Amino acid sequence: MSLAERLVLPADVREAIVAHAREARPNECCGLIAGRARTASRVFRVPNVADDPPRRYRMEDVSVYRALTAMGEALEEDADGHVGEPLAIYHSHVSSAPYPSPTDREYAQWPYSFYVLVSLRSGESEVRAYRILNNHPGAEKSVLEVDIVYVKT
């Protein structure tokens, strides 16, 4: 796996995920980001069906399937070039830092995708991106922060 060092996030994509986080508050929001060549192009909002949505997220399966199907048809890809996979998974933290929690790391399923976190803890939105890697089966997953390059749309 080649690790991407940056995610290109156009202004309209950033605005869409921040708006989703604000609308979902006090619950966490979640969704998928599609794109190519490590550049985000569109957002798929996914319902959060977690048992405790103010503190956790779990993406609704049918919506994920529909989004992945659309990504495959559009030849969109993850950070390592696998077609039909999300470039990024995003979710919000309502009152904590934009860093993957132990639960986020435990349930991370896409090692070739970015994880984008939005925090609303200070009233202003904070957006960060990571790769969550399982370097050694059975060991705790590692977290690598990646740069976000913001571009105008």
- pLDDT tens-digit readout, 39-77: 999 999 999 999 999 999 999 999 999 999 999 999 999
Q: Where are the domains of the chain?
A: 6-151
Indicate the pTM of the whole model: 0.94
Please give the pLDDT value at position 153. Answer: 84
pLDDT at position 117 over 50: yes
Residue type at 25 in one-letter notation = R
CATH of domain 6-151: 3.40.140.10
- pLDDT tens-digit readout, 90-99: 999 999 999 9
Strand-pairing partners, residue 58, are none
Inter-residue contact 48 to 63 (CB < 8 Å)? no
